[in-house]
Amino acid sequence: MTSHHAAFLADFVSMSSHGATQGGGVDRQAATVADGQNRNWFRGLVEGHGFGVHYDVVGNQYSMLELTPGAPWIAVGSHLDSQPLGGRFDGAYGVLAGAHAAKRVQEKLAAAGEESSAKFNIVVINWFNEEGCRFKPSMMGSSVYTGKLSAAQVLETTDPHGVSVREALESIGTIGDFELPVSAYVEIHIEQGRSLEDRGLAIGLVESTWGANKYEFVVHGDQAHTGATIIADRQDALLGASALVVAAREIALEHSTDQHMVITSCGEFNVFPNSPVVVASRVNLLVDVRSTDPDVLAAADAALHARVAEIEKMANVRIERGAEHVWGAKAYDQAGLKLAAEAADTLGLSHGVVRTLAGHDSTNMKDLVPTIMLFVPSVEGISHNERELTSDNDMVAGVDLLTEVLLRVVRGEFVA
């Protein structure tokens, strides 16, 4: 293992101490104290290596390494925020890998006497609130950057305690007015699945996203006494919400085919008033439907909404459809796939083409600029869990590949 590898792993251990949990993971939800501590730690790290750091209006963190004064910028990044009781690797690995790879590119160019000939400078972006657990929706910072959400709307969005994004970012001092257009984007991330591990591959080259439809539902019933109110008179919001959870699973099983899988989930569930002697008057929940094929996704989605109407009648409730967040099954840049494959071959790293089930900031960025998305393996596919794990060898192999990819991009091999 090289000195570069040792330095990366040491920094990863330091980074993982911020918001560390007893189970070996991290809890760094967006714009919390722990997230702020980690952002400041990362700022100090990169400033020590010659980067300049800035924040935009929604808290995206830009760490800029100028190679050629006046040249345009290419971006590499991911996110430092986590889920509650999340893993150490999700997102954070990609941000730290980006910083190390950028610095190594600078060193390689300098060693070859080519630093001033770089066609692009490099900015490492830590996107705000990729996870979407404290503030909804997910991928918030990159959605604003790509024009899919307005900054004004995001800044007024509140968490469950009524704290706005603006207030939260101001409290940790990571909000500004910086703006920077970029010409291309590269991201490396843990797979959060087991296909690379099952295939014995070191690197995944992401060819496309799955399509995903994510909905907020509110099930409205009527509060009543659990002992004194007979079943016929109940409008039980919890019954309706529970039926929706079951319906989502049944739809996934009914619509999956040998060629195209459907995945459905209900990831958040809030019951009101949540008393042991009260029939629930309201339940807020999130339901998402995902598939690799747009037609299969559309059929599963239609089935979900048909079941909503059936559940309203069965449970005598009203189900309100609130905010939604949708992204299609779209391909990444084919030239980027080819460049990354050639870079992996140069380094002797085994690789294969994969699709991403999860959303990432690259999901947004690929709709704006040419984008390359890379994966490293996840042990047993575990993610959004304190037991999330990627081996040291796989992590440093990913940084090696990212370095080679960025070197080729700044030399003009991906975009002009």
Encode pLDDT of 188-206 as tens digits: 999 999 999 999 999 999 9
- Are residues 68 and 126 both part of a single domain? yes
Structural domains of the chain, count = 2
* Whether residue 109 is found in the same domain as residue 254: no
Provide the domain limits for residue 136: 3-209+330-410
17 and 139 share one domain:
yes
The residue among 282, 309, 327 that closes a domain is 327
The answer to whether position 415 is within a domain reads no
Asked whether residue 91 is assigned to any structural domain, the reply reads yes
Query: pLDDT at position 356, please?
Result: 85
Question: Contact at 8 Å (CB) between 207 and 353?
Answer: yes
- Specify whether 257 is located in the same domain as 400: no
pLDDT at 319: 98
pTM reported for the whole predicted model: 0.88
Question: Are 282 and 380 part of one and the same domain?
Answer: no
Kindly state whether residues 312 and 338 are assigned to the same domain: no
Question: Which pairing describes strands 211-220 and 318-327: parallel, antiparallel, or unpaired?
Answer: antiparallel
CATH number assigned to the domain comprising residue 232: 3.30.70.360
Confidence at residue 355, expressed as pLDDT on a 0 to 100 scale = 86
pLDDT score, position 373: 97
Given 300, 327, 354, the domain boundary residue is: 327
pLDDT the model gives residue 348: 98
Q: Tell me, what's the pLDDT at 292? A: 84
Confidence at residue 323, expressed as pLDDT on a 0 to 100 scale: 85
Residue 60's alpha-carbon distances to 32, 112, 126, 239, in angstroms, are 14, 33, 6, 41
Cis amide prior to 276 (ω within 30 degrees): no
* Judgement on whether residues 127 and 229 belong to the same structural domain of the protein: no
Residues of the chain with pLDDT under 70: none
Q: Which of 284, 290, 281 is nearest to 322 (CA)?
A: 284
Q: Are 82 and 180 found together in one domain?
A: yes
**The predicted structure's pLDDT at residue 330:** 82
Of the three residues 327, 359, 386, the one that is the final residue of a domain is 327
How deeply is 225 buried, as exposed, middle or buried, from its count of CB atoms within 10 A (0-12, 13-18, 19+)?
Answer: exposed
CATH of the domain at 49: 3.40.630.10
Helix then strand count (H, E) for the chain reads 12, 14
416: in domain: no
- Same domain, yes or no: 217 and 204: no
Residue 268: the pLDDT is 87
